[in-house]
C-alpha cells in the first residue's frame, strides 16, 4: 500500500478556498438573471392577425388564446394594439380587454388613410413591463408606473391592399 503524505496546511487552505469559490459561482450561475424561487416565466401569448390581407375599410381581428401558465394580468388587464402602415405611419393605437391569462380578441377597421403594402401589427399587454425578457409579470407585484422600454416588439404582418377606388 502507498504511504500517506501529509499536505502542507497552506495547500489545504488553498484547496478549501477554491472549493468555496467554485461552489459560490455554481450556485450563483444556477439563478442566472432571475430569482430561482420566483414562479416560472410566463410570456404573453402568441397572437394572430386575420385576415392576413385587407383593404381600407375591411375589418381585421387580432387575437390570442389564454396562456398555459399563470400570467396574472388581473381582471382589468388590457391589450394594446398598434398598426404601422407600409409608409411607417401609425394608423391605429387602441386598447382592448384581455383575460387574466392573456387571451384577447381585438377587432378594428383598416383606416382609409392606411398606405398600401406590408403593415406591422403589434399587440402586447398594456401597462406591463415585459422588456426584461424573463417572463416575469412586474405588474403582479402591485400598482406601478411602467413605461415600455426599448425592446424587441413582436410584430405580425398585415398586407394592406390598395382600395377598390385606387
What's the pTM? 0.67
CA 144 and chain centroid, separation: 18
Per-residue confidence band for 142, with pLDDT thresholds at 50, 70 and 90? low
Strand order in the sheet with 53-54: 53-54, 156-160, 117-125, 78-84, 90-97
Q: Mind listing the domains of the chain with CATH numbers? A: 48-160 (2.60.40.1930)
Per-residue confidence band for 31, with pLDDT thresholds at 50, 70 and 90? very low
Residue 4: is its pLDDT beyond 80?
A: no
Q: Is 34 helix (H, G, I), strand (E, B) or coil?
A: coil
Per-residue confidence band for 164, with pLDDT thresholds at 50, 70 and 90? confident
The Cα 121–Cα 111 span in angstroms is: 13
Per-residue confidence band for 150, with pLDDT thresholds at 50, 70 and 90? very low
Higher pLDDT, 101 or 30: 101
Amino acid at each position: 500500500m502507498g504511504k500517506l503524505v501529509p499536505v502542507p496546511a497552506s495547500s489545504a487552505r488553498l484547496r478549501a478556498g477554491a472549493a468555496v469559490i467554485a461552489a459560490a459561482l455554481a450556485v450563483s450561475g444556477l439563478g442566472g438573471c432571475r430569482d430561482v424561487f420566483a414562479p416560472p416565466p410566463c410570456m404573453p401569448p402568441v397572437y394572430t392577425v386575420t385576415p392576413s390581407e385587407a383593404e381600407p375599410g375591411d375589418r381585421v381581428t387580432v387575437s390570442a388564446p389564454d396562456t398555459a401558465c399563470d400570467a396574472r394580468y388581473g381582471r382589468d388587464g388590457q391589450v394594446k394594439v398598434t398598426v404601422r402602415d407600409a409608409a411607417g405611419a401609425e394608423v391605429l393605437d387602441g386598447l382592448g380587454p384581455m383575460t387574466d391569462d392573456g387571451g384577447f380578441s381585438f377587432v378594428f377597421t383598416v383606416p382609409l388613410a392606411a398606405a398600401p403594402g406590408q403593415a406591422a401589427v403589434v399587440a402586447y399587454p398594456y401597462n406591463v413591463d415585459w422588456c426584461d425578457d424573463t417572463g416575469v409579470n412586474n405588474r403582479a407585484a402591485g400598482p406601478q408606473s411602467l413605461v415600455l422600454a426599448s425592446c424587441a416588439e413582436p410584430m405580425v404582418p398585415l398586407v394592406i391592399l390598395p382600395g377598390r377606388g385606387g
